[in-house]
Structure 1
Amino acid sequence: MNAVSPFAFDSPDQAIQALAQQITATDIENVDFGSSLASLRSVHRRILAEPILADRDSPAADVSAMDGYAICKSDLPLDGVIEVTGESIPGSPPPSRSETGIIRIFTGAIVPEGCDRVIQREHTEELAGTSADHSNSMGQIRWTERARSIPSGSNIRRQGENLTAGSVAIPAGLELTSPRLAALTNFGVQRLKVHRPVRVAVLTTGDELASASSENEPPLPPWKIRNSNASALVGLLANQPWIDCVSPIHAVDEPSVLRASVLQAIEHHDVVLMTGGVSMGDYDYVPRILQEVGAEIVFHKLPLRPGKPILGAIHSSPTGSTLILGLPGNPVSATMGARRFAMPLIRKFAGIRDWAERPPHVTIQEIGEKTLPLHWMRGVRMIQPGVAELVLGKGSGDLATLALTDGFIEMPPDANHPGPWPYFAW
């Protein structure tokens, strides 16, 4: 802790790292894998829990990288018309090399034994009757001068040049994207280990939040607001196969009710995202209740705008640790805070190897002269690749302006130049 600072950490990244040190990945599940649509969907974008090893060399043999003719050096001095005596095609064993002619070969086909190079078709003169479906002959060619200069080893992909048998094909901790599903199939994987999805609870608090209403109910009174925080947080979490997010929970500002909701959320989830109740008001019970239930508060308040009252805590039990992130109730603070803090930490829980945020950087047009002695998250709209413009709102409750943003940048204290600044997209 900085002795002269009122904050436990000087930056969001330091606070995130402190929480991450107490997080371990979720349990491991065994799942079947096959080529069916259901099987592919069941593992797509899950997080691999152990490395996948190649079951054989890739390629499994020397194969041609071109359509052409597989030859050895002694074939090149041949002048005049040269007979095509065989063909090597993908999916079939190669023919034997002939002393009286050459082998036509197609991309991906095995190079016949004794051949040391492949001459591209365009570097030969193919004579009439050379098509593969000709009934009486496999064809004839003549060498061009370019063909005679093709060196040994050309246009051949060597056995094992991609990967040798037993090598790591896919490291643990990676998301099973489309290319990785292809690799699983290529290396004959039928069963694999993945991390269990991270169970995340969204717990909103506050007497001012109204429950969902129907068209037949009377208009919302001005002292009530709709629970936009629940929608924002669930929206951030949705469509991630490594996140299991249940329906949001809401608790009124009554300590006993809030305490029961917190205990229930902790018991059944890896991560609890709370909104509201973390400031200094008379009805902000969250810090006290978290201490009462045995959670360790790692930080409460950071040099940040919006979201200065943010709270990070860990609740440890014999069955594991639960991350609790207390976000301010103002919707802009809650949404930006969840994107900035919760998402990388959930990635750590999910078992993702490179879980830490590595945001792209953008420059800003018309940054203005105002500065803050805090880390400043500012909503932006992308206007061209690598360039954004500020979307200026009227405070932490301005959801209308937030809805116009594509994401936000984060500026360090006292900064006001155009950047480039780290950009966090929604």
Structure 2
Amino acid sequence: MGKTPIIEVENLGKRYRLGSIGLSSLIDEVRVLGRRIGVPCNAPDSSKYLTALEEISFKVEPGEALGIIGQNGAGKSTLLKILSRITEPSAGRAILRGRVSSLLEVGTGFHPDMTGRENIYLNGALCGLTRSEIKESFDSIVHFAHVEKFIDTPVKRYSSGMFVRLAFAVAAHLKPDILIIDEVLAVGDLGFQKKCIEKMQDVTNGGMAILFVSHNMQMIRRLCSRSMLLHKGKVVQTGETGEVISTYIQANEGVGTNLESALFSERRRGTGLARFSSITYCNKDGEPKKNFRLDEPASFQFEIIAKEELSSLRVLIEIKTENEQEKIIVAGHDVTREKVHSGTKLRFRVTLAPHNLMPGSYPIYFWAGTVDHLHFDILDNCLPPLDITGAHLNQAHSCLSQSDSTLTMLV
């Protein structure tokens, strides 16, 4: 017989009612309950509900780390909240065998007025550990989090980085059977992220199961041998991590040629006097590319439409570290310093050569505005990341100067 899965999820669903709660919502819920127990009732109006998850099924074995990826709004956080018993599912079931520790948001599970020491003992007690068991792990937790000087300070005075370091240390060292982590490690610096990955690799070798949500594809690759891709509340693919990430990147490439899907994104800002109508990742000859080698120049082909008359046009490209905490490449160019008439389409290509980036997936910020920095259109990590492939795993830290990038106007 095979091992019993430590997590079993079957046909899990979650929906939320839109609008205010009143008599009609109560009637709808009674109808739902009646249909569940076999009483003939009309189905409630589906337009009044938002389906966050639909028919989610998967299993996780002891000692396995499962990555969960997808765009914002795909249902990743909702799934983790159900598995953490924070919210109830609307359909299906989830079986978790063992003690669960969750790290979903900065500050989750910590009392702000209690000290770091008191919060460690509080979390341990909530996990069912005795005081002596917590004491055995106490020094390791404090050392891992680097909060020795602040352990008797109320955590409300901690920075977000200190909060996350201590929260992760508590979650990982108190020996849960299942560890659930939702993106919060992005708050930490690169050194701490690397330390967390090494710790998670160590605990999975000891039999702990991990569910890990992140937009950092390099961290997913390093930690998880198997991943699951969600889109609009449904499972698109489950399998080997490299294959799932490739599917995710390819699915997002359509945004690179048609920006209508990003039109109402909260990460898209600006006056709208000019708009990016298309951005394509390509080689220096303009041929579309999915990813780039270490030594290969990366190019971006743009089309911008002037919605009103413009005094000038300038573009800026910023490539950031995988946690979006630092800019590592900045390339800015004046497309034109002359007047641009309303309705004009400007096509051009910017090439970064060399880019000096090590393997990884790098978020990109695109900006269009005037020479004196009036913002027309801002795409802040709306498009797929820049994917660099190769053998090394080091992190690049250099900043690209203006002379390292070129702008070519296109007909």
Q: Greater strand percent: which structure?
A: 2
Bigger Rg, structure 1 or 2: 1
Q: TM-score, with normalisation over the residues of structure 2? A: 0.27
